[in-house]
Amino acid sequence: MVDSNHISKHRAGRETIEQFYKQRTLAPSSPSIENTGQFNVFRKEDIDREQSPPQYARRDFFKIALIKGHHLFHYSDKTLEVSGDTLVFSNPEIPYTFESIAGEPGGYFCIFRESFLSEYLRNSFRDLPMYRIGGSPAFILDTSASVKISAIFERMLEENNSDFRFKYDLIRNHIMEVMYSALKLQPSDKLYVTADANTRITGVFMELLERQFPVESVDRQLTMKTAKDFAQQLSIHVNHLNRAVKNTTGKTTSQIIYERIITEAKTLLKHTGLNVAEIGFCLGFEDPTHFNHFFRKQANARPMDFRSGTV
């Protein structure tokens, strides 16, 4: 039975700051998390492994990571392969998942909301190459550059743990120093289209679709109901998504979305006490008439007839 008083904090396809901390266990030596809403910085060894495998998702925060070893960053239709010491910039507008092939000890990362920097800058840092859509997010570091960037992260850690009144002003300067240091380097050229991009795009689309279910709240509608919604989430053109899904499944993107919505509608009709208007609303239909029309077209029956078992 769906609890109509329960409002899920989960936003399909997006990892929030709150989820970031919930999924990780901070070691005793970790930096303070008092300012988690805006900024934090960590040594990688101070953070336990995630409790579950990383999911393909957008984040609602920016991330800069100095990583060591051999790793893959999977985007919607591309994979970024990095090896050695690498500086990686994660943009909230570009969903990805991370795969470690041969990780090495050491490394750092910081996370921050856009407002942490944007309110203090004359120009948007989103215009920098590493944060532009289609830009180059990874920069290979030689030994000298890795030592320099590591020292900047150490200064951020020191300031973050201090009681200095203006510590966040200093930290903003350190973040910009990392960014501008990266611009002096050549971005990684190992960004390549995967052998089967259609399958990857379709798989990610299906995962994002499925993660909207089961419905957990009657007070909140589905966030993605159309092919265009999913294409925007994947940062690809809707025609690109439609071709990939059709080539992989033989069905249109809309067909798959409608089939999943109608399956959820049937489940709610059979196993909850929600009325038809409530079910329609949480599935994205503002007008109960539109939901009734959709259900009849997809299931060849009226919602109430399906619920009563007369069809």
Query: Could you tell me if 35 and 115 are in contact, meaning their C-beta atoms sit under 8 angstroms apart?
Result: no
* 212 and 149 assigned to the same domain: no
Classify residue 261 by its DSSP letter. H
Structure tokens at 203: 């798989």
Q: How does pLDDT run across 129-146, given as a tens digit for each residue?
A: 888 766 678 898 999 999
**Which pLDDT tens digit goes with each residue over 63-74?**
999 999 998 887
Q: Is the same domain home to 129 and 214? A: no
Q: Beta 78-90 vs 108-112: how paired, if at all? A: unpaired
| pLDDT of amino acid 60 | 78
Which range marks the domain in which residue 298 is found? 197-308
What average pLDDT does the segment 242-251 reach?
94
> Does residue 33 sit in the same domain as residue 110?
yes
Residues 90 and 169 in one domain: yes
Question: What CATH number does residue 249 fall under?
Answer: 1.10.10.60
The 10s digit of each residue's pLDDT in 13-55 is 467 767 776 666 554 334 444 455 689 999 988 875 544 555 6
For residues 206 and 290, membership in a common domain is answered with yes
Instruction: Give the type of residue at 238.
Output: V
Q: What percent helix, strand, coil does the chain show, rounded to 5?
A: 45, 20, 40
Last residue of a domain, one of 159, 193, 227: 193
242: in domain: yes
Number of independent structural domains in the chain: 2
First and final C-alpha spacing in the chain: 23
Tell me, yes or no, whether 155 and 215 share the same domain.
Answer: no
CA distance 301 to 110: 53
For 76-123, how does the pLDDT look when each residue is reduced to its tens digit (9 = 90+)? 667 788 889 999 998 877 777 778 898 888 999 999 988 898 878 777
Q: What is the mean pLDDT of residues 193-209?
A: 80
Identify residue 111 by its one-letter amino acid code. Answer: I
In a domain, 238, yes or no: yes
| pLDDT value of position 110 | 95
CATH number for the domain that contains residue 74: 2.60.120.280
Token pair, residue 22, equals 């919930």
Q: Is residue 5 assigned to a domain?
A: no
**pLDDT confidence of residue 131:** 80
